[in-house]
Structure 1
């Protein structure tokens, strides 16, 4: 018998009340999501999170008082266990990268379906990263069309396939009958050769090259 899905305690952050109301009404339809609070800016989000202890914060970027970028930096410093999922209308590569570098666990554009938003929340809560297709395209199109300086070896391709299916280094080592240290070395070599330095980017690359379904 499968274990029941753990309820996700969610804090919503947006400076538009109508957006908050709409998100709350939709997400509360999900059995495994509990909206425990809302906030209208980054500072209020930090204060609310300190009191309510959410698992995931779903946050806009363009907000008064303290924007989503600065709030994300502070969350990483003050409440590092909280997962941060950005929900934004901005799709510029530099904009998204700045949020990732600040510690966001995912980035979803506001044109996604409610089903995909639920999937994104669930994914980051489980320790993964999530980027909607529009965000991924903005991030990785330039990288994927850049010519590789060195081709991947057969072993590196094998490791990349395993990485793209979500296996841990230990699981990959067991699957390929190699040491964890060797897996770590291969992963770093893959990232350097492809000039892709995130798990989401490697997954997108593997999908585009049809290394995985």
Structure 2
């Protein structure tokens, strides 16, 4: 039986850049570019029409930004994975797209191999941040937030940290020597206790709480 392809929509307002990404992705036998778009409005319409698995999204675009398009896509198509690919590496941009529901963030100087890896990583349900973005996200000072009693157990803290590091439930189960179902139950409990609804929100919470530097 043939391997299922990852259907992708590529969004960028520079035609040369867009063509370059499409040409590279079309070399992969398990990736299929089903649509392209040059602004956020077109991106939302392309997702509506083609129902892709992953959207490769630029941020700075006319008419409707990648940030606005990401929020719109996640509101109406929550199963679609949005992967940001941009030139902006400041923490404000990163946090905003995570809040909008993106599951990955990369700079445009990323290697083509890393780009393919990122697409496959988010398709499988994990998050992906390139090294320079991770440094920006985790080394810049984070404003203090009011301290509250941690509602999570030690095991839930451990699982949340691994989720924020981009590990899949399967990998977490193997590392902690517990069942996949148990990990999934913990993840649902964590979301319920924290009133969070996506992996991106869990990652943001872990960053703000300093779990990734612990």
TM normalised by structure 1 equals 0.73
Change (3 A) 1:119 1:65: same
Task: Tell me which of 197, 203, 206 is aligned to 1:198.
Answer: 203
Q: Give the number of equivalent residue pairs.
A: 192
Deviation at 1:201, TM superposition (A): 6.3
**Alpha-carbon distance in structure 2 between the residues aligned to 1:182 and 1:7:** 29
For 1:181 and 1:20, the matched residues in 2 are separated by 37
5+ long unaligned stretches in structure 1: none
Is 2:103 the partner of 1:100?
Answer: no
SS of the aligned residue for 2:140 comes to helix
From the superposition, tell whether residues 6 and 199 of structure 1 become closer, same or farther in structure 2 (CA, over 3 Å): farther
1:150-208 Cα shifts (integer Å, max 9, x gaps): xxx9978976787665446993797269x779966x979xx9xxxx9518968xx77x8
- Distance verdict in 2 for CA 1:200–1:26, change over 3 Å: farther
1:57 aligned counterpart, secondary structure: strand
Q: Write the distance in 1 (CA, Å) between the matches of 2:113 and 2:96.
A: 26
Q: 1:180/1:77 Cα in 2 relative to 1: closer, same or farther (>3 Å)?
A: closer
- Equivalent residue, structure 1, for 2:29: 31
Where does residue 175 of structure 1 map in the other structure? 177
Calculate the TM-score normalised by the size of structure 2.
0.73
* Offset, 1:49: 1.2
CA 41–136 in structure 1, closer or farther in 2 if over 3 Å, else same: same
CA distance in 2, matches of 1:41, 1:107: 18
1:77-116 pair list within 5 angstroms: 77-116=75-114
SS at the partner of 2:61?
A: coil
1:23-71: per-residue Cα shift (whole Å, max 9, x none)? 1111100011011111000100111111111111101000001000000
- Decide whether aligned partners of structure 1 residues 187 and 173 sit closer, same or farther in structure 2, where only a CA change above 3 A counts: farther
Question: What runs of 5+ residues in structure 2 fail to find an aligned partner?
Answer: 148-152, 195-200
SS at match of 2:28: coil
Q: In structure 1, how many angstroms separate the alpha carbons of the residues matched to 2:171 and 2:116?
A: 27
Structure 1 or 2, whichever has the larger Rg, is 1
Change (3 A) 1:111 1:175: same
When residues 75 and 183 of structure 1 are mapped into structure 2, their CA distance, relative to the original with a 3 A threshold, is: closer
Q: CA separation in 1, counterparts of 2:184 and 2:12?
A: 43
Aligned 8 A contact 1:140 1:201 in 2: no
